Amino acid sequence: MKVQGSIEFTVTERSGDRVVSVMAIQPGVTNPFGTVHAGATLWLADVTATVLVMGEKEMAAGIQGFPLAISLNSHFLANQREGSFKAVANFVKKGRTVSVVRTIVYGELDKVIADVTTSHVFSA
């Protein structure tokens, strides 16, 4: 059995204390039941949080000081089959070494899809 997917999203807002990303629901992010796969939802939340922790740095292969996720706690509360998901990441604690971010993933009509808290430590 071959399984294949494609996940893509766009950062639509980026400031020092908030990052917003939008992911279209398309066949590459859905599970066999037609709803968004939990892994795609978590990936959207985690990468959105990582962009927040990075601050003004841009993601690039081999960059120094990349904020590695060391803990992810997720609550999946709903799902949907079409439209888009919006992830909104805000700091719980912005630290020099460890930062904690809460990311809420919203569906259509601002329905809460997932509540994700991540902890990030800067790598050397």
pLDDT at 19: 98
Burial class of residue 2 (count of CB atoms within 10 Å of its CB; 0-12, 13-18, 19+): exposed
Span 36-44, mean pLDDT? 96
Choose the CATH number for 10-122 among 3.30.70.60, 3.40.50.1820, 3.10.129.10, 3.40.50.920: 3.10.129.10
pTM of the model: 0.92
Which sequence spans correspond to the domains of the chain? 10-122
How far is it, in rounded angstroms, from Cα 55 to Cα 108?
28
Q: What is the pLDDT of residues 51-100, one digit of tens each?
A: 999 988 777 777 777 888 999 999 999 999 999 999 999 999 999 899 99
pLDDT at 67: 86
Q: What is the pLDDT of residues 96-121, one digit of tens each?
A: 899 999 999 999 999 999 999 999 99
